[in-house]
Amino acid sequence: MTLDARIGLRLGSLDLRVELRAHAHEVVALLGPNGAGKSTILRCLAGLEPVGDGRISIDGVAVDDPAAGVFAEPEARPIGFVFQDYVLFEHLTVLENIAYGLRARGVAKVEARRRSHDWLDRLDLADFAHQRPQVLSGGQAQRVALARALVTNPRLLLLDEPLAALDARTRASVRRDLRDHLASFDGMRLMVTHDPVDAHALADRMIVVEAGRIVQSGTPADVTAHPRTRYVADLVGVNLVTGVVADGVLTTQTGARVVIADAVDGPTLATIRPHSVLIGRGDGVASSARNSWRGTIVDIDRLGERVRLVIEGELPLTAEITAAAFGELDLRRGDDVHASVKATDIEVAPA
Amino acid sequence: MSRRRRRVELPIPALLLAGTAVAFFALPLVGLLWRAPWSNAWAYLTDDTAVTALRLSMLTSLCATALSIAFGVPLAWLLARVDFPGRGAVRALCLLSMVLPPVVGGVALFFALGRRGLVGQYLDEWFGITLPFTTAGVVVAQTFVAMPFLVITVEAALRQLDPRLEDASRTLGGSGWYTFRRVTLPAIRPALTAGAVLAWARALGEFGATITFAGNFPGTTQTMPLAVYLSLETNPEEAIVLALVMITVSFLVLLALRDRWFGAATRAATVAT
């Protein structure tokens, strides 16, 4: 299964010109600042916005091809769409919300209800079947939205900012849930987000969109190591460390220890920004930084006046230093360095 | 905002003015109650003129409401959703009869749909349909003045509706019509009800356009307001009783729908300005 899309569209001040492809085995995240055109891309794929020029095909079947006069209405496309803040139908019960897609496609009422009930059981929401969606929490509403989109077995699942409506506390557990549900769905999965943490946690591949153009695409690790633009470097290309926190120390799966300043416990996601990482030569000197790891420079990437260093070692990290510091330290690929980070520079969130 | 304002104590002069305004609306009602011939009330209510007029009023105002819904909802949808050149002018045209003196509306209808009218002559010639001075003419006159109330209310609701609700339905496999029936219509139902009641109340009270376009024939075109007006000259006591009946009906409807109506009407006003 593949999605092939070439989208050209002018919409107000947005001039969108992107080409993207997605396969069934991967979760793709579309990342970018507000107004970059991410959501418009999803709307084009869903048929809610016709492309100006270009071509969109799902499994080789064209669904939008203005040159050939082809345009499939949204209801005729094999898609599921999870909207930002979910947009559940408030005049219908939770069960009717999920059954909606089946009923709209002509499935008999009894059969539609049975299949929807199966979904509710799977999502642990059977108690809410006959309630209105207004009573659901953010996480529950998201599960209902997901079930509503998946009940018709779409080939392509589109998610628009699926976690943006949630507060920080529920976000982690919903993100974990979402990852499991995304993993159990065997179609193509395309997700829009402006949060790199979500993209890192959920996606196999990132496509970064800025001002209507794709500026970079690749695995999260790849994008972090070699960002092509300032936006990617500052907001997308961050180090994400997962592990378990006990007594103010996060221990990763490989055994690396990261001292953090926030009082959290249990599974945790720590974000280390590359520009917060200090690089020194040799064994390191005494400093106020609570963290210091040894490593080897395996890659060097220049981005304007800054240099990105990819370091392998106790804790794989990407660091960003100024070109001047880079020159002074006379760093080369293969050099042993120590990387240090102040505990207060590390952002943590429950994982 | 309004909640905060409510907590502020109203200065005495404003209170006096507001009280006067309430009295201004209440006094005519008290006047009617005071002059009402209570001993003969039942006889007036059950006499032929009153019963016929009341039945005709109910029939025609409900028909006008049904027509307003049938044509008004699509019109509201067109005005709210389709961006076409001259939309502002079309909206103004369709809402014109709200501000037009009804008599003027009746005269205009007469020259359009009358037997020698622009369209009326062909209706008569080709189909044998004559509207003026018939019950159908009453319905036309009432619809003409009542439909804008429904259109303005429903259009406001459609504009307030999150368009993504309809998008969601489309992505779930709902065709345009299915989406309208299952999502749009239920979502705007409160406004539709409010608009229909407003339109119905306006149709029920219609006088000027009716008497100009449809005349004043007992049994076919003499509705309640016309009967009230006529009996004022011949039998004032009966006029008072009929007037009280109309006031009671209108008051009860407003009372029953006050929350919905005020909600929707406020929204309509916000959108209109």
Answer whether A119 touches B (CB < 8 Å).
no
Chain centroid offset of residue A284 CA: 36
The amino acid occupying position A28 is: V
Q: Taking residues B148-171, what's their average pLDDT? A: 95
In chain A, where the domains are located: 2-88+136-230, 239-350
Q: What CATH architecture applies to the domain A2-88+136-230?
A: 3-Layer(aba) Sandwich (3.40)
Residue contact B173–A80, C-beta within 8 A: no
Among B162, B167, B178, whose Cβ lies nearest the Cβ of A48? B167
Residues from chain A contacting residue B170 (CB–CB below 8 Å): 47-48, 73-75
- Angle CA(A35)–CA(A230)–CA(A337) in degrees, nearest 5? 145
| Residue B193 exposed, middle or buried by CB count within 10 Å (0-12, 13-18, 19+) | middle
Q: What pTM, to 2 d.p., does this model score?
A: 0.78
Q: Does A100 touch chain B (CB under 8 A)?
A: yes
Residue B117 placed within a domain: yes
Any B CB within 8 A of A32 CB: no
Q: Give the best residue of B160, B167, B170, B171 to mutate against chain A (max A CB count within 10 A).
A: B171
Contact A104 B165 (CB under 8 A): no
- Say if CB B117 and CB B77 are below 8 A apart: no
Asked whether the beta carbons of residue B171 and residue A89 sit closer than 8 angstroms, the reply is no
Residue type, A132: R
- Considering CB atoms only, which of B162, B172, B187 is closest to A100? B172
Check B171 against A46: CB less than 8 A apart: yes
Which of B164, B166, B172 would you mutate first to test chain A, the one with the most A CBs within 10 A?
B172
Q: In whole angstroms, what separates CA A10 from the centre of its chain?
A: 26
Q: How far apart are CA A337 and CA A334, in angstroms?
A: 9
Is the pLDDT assigned to residue B261 strictly greater than 60?
no
Report how far residue A224's alpha carbon sits from residue A205's, in angstroms, rounded to the nearest whole number.
Answer: 12
B232 belongs to a structural domain: yes
| Total tally of structural domains belonging to chain B | 1
Domains A2-88+136-230 and A239-350 share a fold: no
CB nearest B172 (choices: A43, A48, A148): A148
Structural domain contains residue B27:
no
Q: With bands split at pLDDT 50, 70 and 90, how would you rate the model's confidence at A6?
A: very high
Query: What is the domain range of residue B94?
Result: 41-272
Of A241-245, B145-149, B254-258, the poorest mean pLDDT is in B254-258
What is the rounded CA–CA span in Å between residue A189 and residue A166? 21
Q: State in words which class domain A239-350 has.
A: mainly beta
Report the CATH number at residue B236. Answer: 1.10.3720.10
The answer, yes or no, to whether residue A175 has pLDDT greater than 90, is no
Task: Indicate the residue type of A176.
Answer: R
Token digits for B90?
Answer: 């079309």
A266-to-A246, A249, B143 alpha-carbon distances in Å: 7, 10, 69
List chain A residues with CB under 8 Å of B172. Answer: 75, 81, 100-101, 104, 148-149, 152
pLDDT over 70 (residue B262): no
Residue B267 pLDDT > 80, yes or no? no
